Amino acid sequence: MLDYLKRFKSFRFFLGFGACFVFIAVLVQLDRAAAFDLAIIHAVQSAESAPLTSLAKSLSLVGSTQLAIVISLVVMGLLFLLLKHRVEIVLFLWVGLGSQVLNTLMKLWFRRERPDLHRMIEQAGFSFPSGHSMAAFSLYGVTAFLLWRHLRSRRERVVLILLVVFMTGGIGWSRIYLGVHYPSDVIGGYAVSGAWLMLSITLFQKYRESREKKNRNGKRI
């Protein structure tokens, strides 16, 4: 079974993201990420300015649960009404809801307190891994996967990737800038959400491959 799954590139990415998360989680649990976190926080917050603060608050709002739900509904409407996708909607919901459940469970497991250095906004709850970062990676990552094959030109695909990178990276940066997350929270959130996304894509591709094989066999009979 493992050899079969290794045929999928997404499964190899799952292993890579998973290993990255385990490494970061161990550092956080052993309190070995402090020097790295403080250096990045200082570098990010040293550029503080009114325009950057407004940008950070806007990006943080885009990564909130409320707006993530609105964006998700829009994407599902696009998939169902325009692209006539139904199974893909199941994948979209699976990735999004699974990411939320994972984030809740991991925050309760690690119970890491939020940084208390220079906090520009107030945020309740534990810190590791970053929920905003996980939601952004899952939402924009699965959207890019589902839209990719419908974009024919290289320019359209480049624009899609740049948008995903900007939104995902920008939301993570905003959480560090606003002082509500350590950099290791953000990177850990990207890693675990990336692992979940890639595992979900692998299972989806395996299902689609099995269904296509079954349809081909049915036509031969």
pLDDT tens, residue by residue, 83-121: 666 778 888 889 999 999 999 999 999 999 999 888 888
Exposed/middle/buried for residue 108 (C-beta within 10 Å: 0-12, 13-18, 19+): exposed
| pTM to 2 decimal places | 0.90
Integer CA distances (angstroms), 58 to 54, 61, 71, in order: 6, 5, 15
8: left (phi > 0), else alpha (psi -120 to 50), else beta?
A: beta
Calpha distance 111→102 (Å, rounded)? 14
2-38 pLDDT per residue, tens? 555 556 688 889 999 999 999 999 999 999 999 999 9
Q: Evaluate whether 89 touches 79 at the Cβ level (below 8 Å).
A: yes
Question: What is the pLDDT at residue 79?
Answer: 73
Task: Please determine, for residue 48, whether its predicted confidence score (pLDDT) is greater than 70.
Answer: yes
Please count the residues of the chain.
221
For tokens 């900007």, the residue is 166
DSSP, residue by residue, 197-221: HHHHHHHHHHHHHHHHHHHHHHHH-
Exposed/middle/buried for residue 64 (C-beta within 10 Å: 0-12, 13-18, 19+): middle
H or E segment and range at residue 11: helix 9-29
For residue 123, what pLDDT band results from cuts at 50, 70 and 90? confident
**Both tokens of residue 6?**
């290794």
Rg (CA), the chain: 19
Of 55-69, 79-93, 140-154, 179-193, the one with minimum mean pLDDT is 79-93
DSSP state, residue 64: S
**Both tokens of residue 181?**
């997350």
Sign, CA dihedral 35-39-40-45, equals positive
**Both tokens of residue 16?**
């890579």
Calpha distance 15→210 (Å, rounded)? 23
Task: Please determine, for residue 212, whether its predicted confidence score (pLDDT) is greater than 80.
Answer: no
**Could you tell me which residues come within 8 angstroms of residue 121 by beta carbon, excluding any fewer than 6 positions away?**
57, 60, 178, 179, 180
